[in-house]
Amino acid sequence: MTDEQIIGRVRGGETRLFEELVRRYQGQVYGMAARLVGGRGDAEDVAQEAFLKAFRGLEGFKGDAKFSTWLYRITWNVCTDWLRRNRKPGRRSSSIDETPEVADSRVDVAGSLVESERREEIRRALDGLPDKYRSVVTLMYFQKMSYDQISAVLGLPLKTIETRLYRARRMLREALSTMDERSRG
């Protein structure tokens, strides 16, 4: 059954079918929340709130965009509201790698350590970006969204998305280069 068919049936009174939409998109919604607000518990709360808002607002969904884009926009707004209410000064929160690593005796320990350190450097560099740049990087690389989807989610023109992504990449390169220089010196 397509998203549109489910939405039609939910609007027709079969509200339990909304659970299927939750199952389809819970990973993406939770992933976005985890990368933007950090912390498993907070991300779960934000994801739940996003789905609740989507359910309550389903009558207002016009179908101009895909359901997933509309849902990501809601999630983005909930995350933004949460950050405004809860962010402590100087604290950024994003999670590059929410998946716990599984121990494997065949793993190259030195290689894993270097990879882990690099991932931490990338996380710090990403956390150091202003929100407007971090958001496009998160949506592009972690949520695997297209430029058009990011534009719809953030409500910004496509050219603005392209510019912000270009600048964010440049800032990340500079930050990582600085980190590399410090580690060598």
Spell out the domain ranges in the chain: 1-93, 104-185
Helices in 128-157 by DSSP H: which ranges? 131-137, 147-154
3.40.640.10, 3.40.50.1000, 1.10.10.10, 3.30.360.10: which CATH number matches 104-185?
Answer: 1.10.10.10
Q: Which of 24-38, 124-138, 171-185 has the lowest mean pLDDT?
A: 171-185
The one-character DSSP state at 144 is -
CA dihedral of 57, 40, 76, 121, whole degrees rounded to 10: -170
- Mean predicted confidence (pLDDT) in 41-61: 93
> Of 148, 168, 169, 170, nearest to 159 (Cα)?
148
- Residue 47 to residue 71: CA distance in whole angstroms: 10
User: What pLDDT score was predicted for residue 95?
Assistant: 41
Contact (Cβ atoms closer than 8 angstroms) between residue 93 and residue 38: yes
Q: Which of 14-18, 40-44, 61-65, 135-139 has the lowest mean pLDDT?
A: 61-65
- Split at pLDDT 50, 70, 90, the class of 90 is very low
Asked whether the domain spanning 104-185 has the same topology as the one spanning 1-93, the reply is no
What percentage of the chain has pLDDT greater than the value 90?
Answer: 39
Predicted confidence (pLDDT) at residue 96 exceeds the cutoff of 70: no
Could you give phi then psi for residue 13, rounded to 5 degrees?
Answer: 115, -10
As a whole number, the mean pLDDT across the chain is: 81
- Split at pLDDT 50, 70, 90, the class of 123 is confident
Which has more confidence, 63 or 170? 170
Architecture of the domain whose range is 1-93: Orthogonal Bundle (1.10)
Predicted confidence (pLDDT) at residue 114 exceeds the cutoff of 70: no
The one-character DSSP state at 141 is I
Show the CA angle centred on residue 25, arms to residues 123 and 154, nearest 5°.
60
- Residue 163 to residue 160: CA distance in whole angstroms: 5
Structure tokens at 152: 């719809």
